[in-house]
Amino acid sequence: MASKPINGLPGLSKFLSESSFRPWWEKLLFPRRFERRIAARLLRVLEIGFYRNFTAYELARDLGMDSIDGQCAIDEAIRHLLLKGKIEQPCPGKFSLHDYRRITGVVDLSQPDKPLLISGNYKLPVYIPPERLFGASHGDTVNVKIRQRTQRFLEAEVVSVIKFAQRRLVGNLEVLERGAYFTPANRELFRTIVIPLSCIKNAEDGDRVIVELPPHGHRHETIAARVIKILGETDTEYVETQSLLQRNNFPTDFSPEEEEAAAAIRFDITPADIATRLDLRGVPTFTVDPDGTKDVDDALSIRPLPNGNWEIGVHIADVTHYIKPGSVLDKRAYQYTTSVYLPDRVLPLFPDTVTRGCSLFAGADKLAFSILFEITSDAKIVYRRVIKTIIRSQRQFTYNEAQQLLDGAPGRFAGELRTLYTLSQKLRKGRYTNGAITFSDRPELHFEFDETGRVVSVKPRKRLESMKLIEEFMLLANRNVAEIAAMKRMPFVYRTHGMPNKRMFDELRRVAANYGHTLRGESIPGSTTSRTIAKSIASFMSQLEGEQEEMLFINLAIRSMACGKYSAVPRRHFALSFDHYTHFTSPVRRYTDMVVHRLLTGAFVDRSVRTNIFNYETACQHFNFMREKAKALEDCMERQKAAEYLSDKVGKEFEGTITHVSPTMLSVTLHDTGICGRVPLKSLLDDCYELDTEQYIIQGKTTGNFYRIGHRVTVRVAHVDSGRAIVDFVITGRKVSKRLAKQQKLYTMEW
Mean pLDDT of all residues in the chain?
80
User: Could you report the per-residue pLDDT of 18-59, keeping only the tens digit for each?
Assistant: 344 444 444 454 456 667 778 888 887 776 665 567 888 888
- Does the structure show a pLDDT above 70 at 600? yes
Q: What is the pTM of this model?
A: 0.74
What pLDDT is stored for residue 20 in this prediction? 41
Pick the CATH number of 102-163 from 3.30.70.1350, 3.30.70.60, 2.70.50.30, 2.40.50.140: 2.40.50.140
DSSP structure class, residue 404: H
Average pLDDT score over residue span 339-355: 91
Average pLDDT score over residue span 712-719: 90
CATH 2.40.50.140, the chain: domain bounds: 102-163, 647-750
What pLDDT is stored for residue 356 in this prediction? 92
633 or 153, higher pLDDT:
633
What pLDDT is stored for residue 348 in this prediction? 92
**Strongest mean pLDDT among 123-127, 151-155, 555-559, 580-584:** 580-584
519 or 596, higher pLDDT:
596
The sheet carrying 168-175 orders its strands as 222-224, 192-195, 180-184, 168-175, 207-212, 226-233
CATH fold label, 168-247: OB fold (Dihydrolipoamide Acetyltransferase, E2P) (2.40.50)
For the domain bounded by 12-97, which CATH number is listed? 1.10.10.10
Class of the CATH-defined domain 647-750: mainly beta
31 or 715, higher pLDDT:
715
Give the side-chain half-sphere CA count within 13 A for 700. 13
What pLDDT is stored for residue 527 in this prediction? 39
What pLDDT is stored for residue 439 in this prediction? 65
User: Could you report the per-residue pLDDT of 251-268, keeping only the tens digit for each?
Assistant: 878 989 999 999 999 998
- Does the structure show a pLDDT above 70 at 743? no
- Does the structure show a pLDDT above 50 at 9? no
User: Could you report the per-residue pLDDT of 52-92, keeping only the tens digit for each?
Assistant: 678 888 888 877 777 777 777 788 788 778 777 677 777 77
CATH 2.40.50.700, the chain: domain bounds: 168-247
Q: How far is CA 423 from CA 63, 106, 419, in A?
A: 77, 48, 6
Q: How far is CA 217 from CA 89, 114, 543, in A?
A: 17, 21, 57
Residue in 3, 4, 12 with CA at minimum distance from that of residue 46: 12
Tell me the C-alpha distance between 59 and 95, whole Å: 9
CATH 1.10.10.10, the chain: domain bounds: 12-97
Tell me the C-alpha distance between 738 and 716, whole Å: 25
What pLDDT is stored for residue 473 in this prediction? 95
Average pLDDT score over residue span 699-710: 81
What pLDDT is stored for residue 111 in this prediction? 61
Percent of the chain with pLDDT strictly greater than 70: 82
Looking at the DSSP bridge assignments, the partners of residue 233 are 207
**pLDDT tier at 181, thresholds 50, 70, 90:** confident
**pLDDT tier at 750, thresholds 50, 70, 90:** very low
Tell me the C-alpha distance between 384 and 365, whole Å: 24
Q: Kindly state the helix (H) or strand (E) to which residue 681 belongs, with its residue range.
A: none
Average pLDDT score over residue span 138-165: 77
User: Could you report the per-residue pLDDT of 486-501, keeping only the tens digit for each?
Assistant: 998 888 999 998 877 7
C-beta pairs of 612-616 under 8 Å, 24+ apart in sequence: 612/325, 612/326, 612/330, 613/334, 616/491, 616/492, 616/493, 616/568
